[in-house]
Amino acid sequence: MSAATRVLFHPYRFRLAFTYTLSVTEFVLGLLYPFTIGLAINGFLDGRGIISIAPLTAVWLLQAAFSALYQITASRLFAKIYRTIAGKLILGEQNTPDTTSEIAARVIMVEKICDALADEVPLLISGIVGIFGSAVMLFLYDLRVGAVAAALIVIIALLQWWFSIRAVDLNERINTLRESHVKVISQPAPARIRDYFRAITRLNIRFKDVETGAWSIADVFSLGAVVLVLFLVTRNSTFDVGSIYAMVAYVMTLTDSLENAPDLVDEGAHFYDVSLRIATQLRERT
């Protein structure tokens, strides 16, 4: 994060850290579901009865508690961030046609930033926990399966690095056009309006094409990893039923998290560009 964007979040850094610690805890607990379900399966098969679901029940209730606490904390924090930043943007500028268009666009962007803080950042946390947590659990079950997971992570990371470069560039160009949205509409001219919407839709289509390409390539590699893991775990007679279930579940969690990476990169690029624009404007007044 650049020095400019710290202007936005520095006053809330401790509350943000606490809020996202709750979110991390929630997703780490969720990562234990395959493991505790595997324990329950083995326990019932071995005749240990209802006590077999004790770990699963404990994890379930703890995750529900942390999830509820996160929602309560996050809604209040992000509402405060929104009203504070939006107020500074509106009250700190003299009203001219150009500044009104820009401020209107950026107030909408502030709302999107707060929505991203509440929705997209937890998804990013979920993705990171799902990717690396699943890989760690797979290594604990079997080194070969863990190696497959690690190889898949490296391949998809390189793919997403390439996509992120394109995403940041395209998001910057799209947001630049959006800042003139109100001005274009308030001063209608057929050719100008036609050129404006042609430009923004072309950029959106180009972005979607790049995102689709990255997602499709990631999907092919994910399928290969799932097939290879199924082959490895079913060929080894030392694994019990619960362990096989848990490994397959962790592989699916890993591939699902990796396949969601293009969406997360998209939102991250948009979040970064919008935050930079608003933070730069606020910093120029101080």
161-191 burial code (b ≥16 CB/10 A, e <16):
eebbebbbebbbbbbebebbbbbbeeeeeee
Q: Mind giving me the DSSP string for 84-150? A: HHHHHHHHTS---HHHHHHHHHHHHHHHHHHHIIIIIHHHHHHHHIIIIIHHHHHHHH-HHHHHHHH
Single-letter code of the amino acid located at 206: R
**pLDDT tens-digit readout, 236-246:** 778 888 988 99
**Cβ neighbours of 243 (radius 10 Å):** 20
The pLDDT of residue 27 is 92
pTM of the model: 0.71
The pLDDT of residue 106 is 66
pLDDT in tens, the chain (286 residues): 555 556 667 788 899 999 999 999 999 999 999 999 999 999 998 888 889 999 999 999 999 999 999 999 998 998 888 888 777 766 655 555 545 656 666 677 777 778 778 887 888 888 888 889 999 999 999 999 999 999 998 988 888 787 777 777 777 777 777 766 666 666 667 777 777 778 878 878 887 777 777 778 888 888 888 899 888 888 877 888 898 899 989 998 888 887 776 666 666 666 776 677 666 666 655 5
The pLDDT of residue 25 is 94
Q: How far is the C-alpha of 262 from the C-alpha of 143, rounded, in Å?
A: 28
**pLDDT tens-digit readout, 68-85:** 999 999 989 988 888 887
The pLDDT of residue 2 is 52
Is 2.70.170.10 the CATH number for 3-284? no
The pLDDT of residue 270 is 66
Ordered alpha helix ranges (H), the chain: 3-9, 13-31, 33-45, 54-91, 97-115, 121-128, 134-141, 143-178, 181-186, 190-234, 241-259, 261-284
107-123 burial code (b ≥16 CB/10 A, e <16):
bebbeebbebbbebbbb
* Half-sphere exposure for 278 (CA within 13 Å, toward CB): 31
277 touches 5 (CB < 8 A)? no
Q: How far is the C-alpha of 255 from the C-alpha of 226, rounded, in Å?
A: 8
Which tokens go with 165? 């470069």
Q: Tell me 60's DSSP state.
A: H
